[in-house]
Amino acid sequence: MNVAALHTHAAAIRNAPTWRAAGLRYFSYNYYLRKLYGRRIHKVSIDAGFTCPNVDGTVTTGGCVFCDNRSFSPSRRLPRTSIAGQIEEGIKRIKTRYKVDDFIAYFQPATNTYAPVTKLRRLYEEALAAPKVVGLAVGTRPDCVPADVLDLVSELAERTYVSLEYGMQTMHDRSLDWMNRGHRHASFLDAVARSRGRGFEICAHLILGVPGESHDDMLATARELARLNVDAVKLHNLYAVKDTPLADQVAAGRVQLMELDDYVRTVVDILEILPPTMIVERVSGESPPNYHVGPAWCLDKPALRAALEAEFTRRSTYQGRLA
């Protein structure tokens, strides 16, 4: 399929979603990619060695309260190799667990647009040149996408599938301040406005269970995301990993992490609000168990998925029911 046909096909899948007819409760990314490519597609993580303006002092220092780059990707714990080498190794690892032949190269840890555009082009092109890579996903901050970076991402989207993933986290500035994000919600609004209609998908990353946020505050963020109508969302609970300010606050009893029941109820409430056309890339977070501090329940993904399914069934509900 040429790229124009791919984009047309992607828009058709998103605009007339068939996931309910397929028996799903929400528009999962797996389902979307299967429809788009006609086969299973998996992301392969790349650690390109980026840092972050929220760590190196350009925006602030210390980073987000929950951030420990080591926990972002399995590749972080291996000696860093070339992009091609990381993709090859990552594909080998994934193939031991899943029957999948094609991959989206995912620039994951840190801020993956934080470099001169010539360097970004070289890194992204190297990933796209790897055998079995059929698309690109890039995780970044909303205050780190100057015009030349968006021009590059847009140009690449003329050749292949591209998703740009922004850390929105919440619409509440007081929560962004608590996290030490170093940006406000206005940055996310600006990034989305400048990214829209440029050929790549816009994905928003949300964190549930930020201290001081009520259930209604989290639903307000969901309504804001529904209003913005971005292409995709990732949801996860606030969790703590070792050697972070958050881990210290949890240990000192200053922060309570969300319980499973509350998380499940909130995720279903949020998915009811989000439009049925919004792809749900993720409903839980993950960190390597040896770095994980808590809560313990989010390491048991099958149990979390079962609890979500049970809540959807109990309520006879689905994504977009209240959209």
Shortest CA distance to 285 belongs to which of 197, 206, 193? 206
Nearer to ligand SF4, 285 or 320 (CB): 285
Does 75 bind ligand SF4 (CB under 6 A)? Our answer is: no
Contact set for ligand SF4, span 163-182 (CB under 6 A): 167
**Least distance in angstroms from the C-beta of 132 to ligand SF4:** 27
Does 63 bind ligand SF4 (CB under 6 A)? Our answer is: yes
**Pick from 10, 64, 134, 293: which binds ligand SF4 (CB under 6 A)?**
64
Contact set for ligand SF4, span 108-167 (CB under 6 A): 110-111, 141, 167
Nearer to ligand SF4, 61 or 82 (CB): 61
Shortest CA distance to 71 belongs to which of 257, 281, 241? 241
Nearer to ligand SF4, 101 or 243 (CB): 243
Does 191 bind ligand SF4 (CB under 6 A)? Our answer is: no
# binding residues, ligand SF4 (CB under 6 A): 10
Contact set for ligand SF4, span 274-293 (CB under 6 A): none
Is residue 110 within 8 Å of residue 53, measured between CB atoms?
no
Q: Rounded to whole angstroms, how far apart are CA atoms 152 and 43? A: 21
- The contact mask relative to ligand SF4 for 39-58 (x = CB under 6 A, - = no) is -------------x-xx---
**Least distance in angstroms from the C-beta of 106 to ligand SF4:** 15
**Least distance in angstroms from the C-beta of 139 to ligand SF4:** 8
Nearer to ligand SF4, 64 or 268 (CB): 64
Nearer to ligand SF4, 54 or 163 (CB): 54
**Least distance in angstroms from the C-beta of 182 to ligand SF4:** 7
Helix 147-157 and helix 117-128, axial crossing angle in degrees, nearest 10: 20
**Least distance in angstroms from the C-beta of 116 to ligand SF4:** 18
**Least distance in angstroms from the C-beta of 247 to ligand SF4:** 14
Query: Tokens at residue 265, please?
Result: 């109820």
**Least distance in angstroms from the C-beta of 67 to ligand SF4:** 3
**Least distance in angstroms from the C-beta of 113 to ligand SF4:** 11
Chain contacts with ligand SF4 (rule: CB under 6 A) = 52, 54-55, 63-64, 67, 110-111, 141, 167
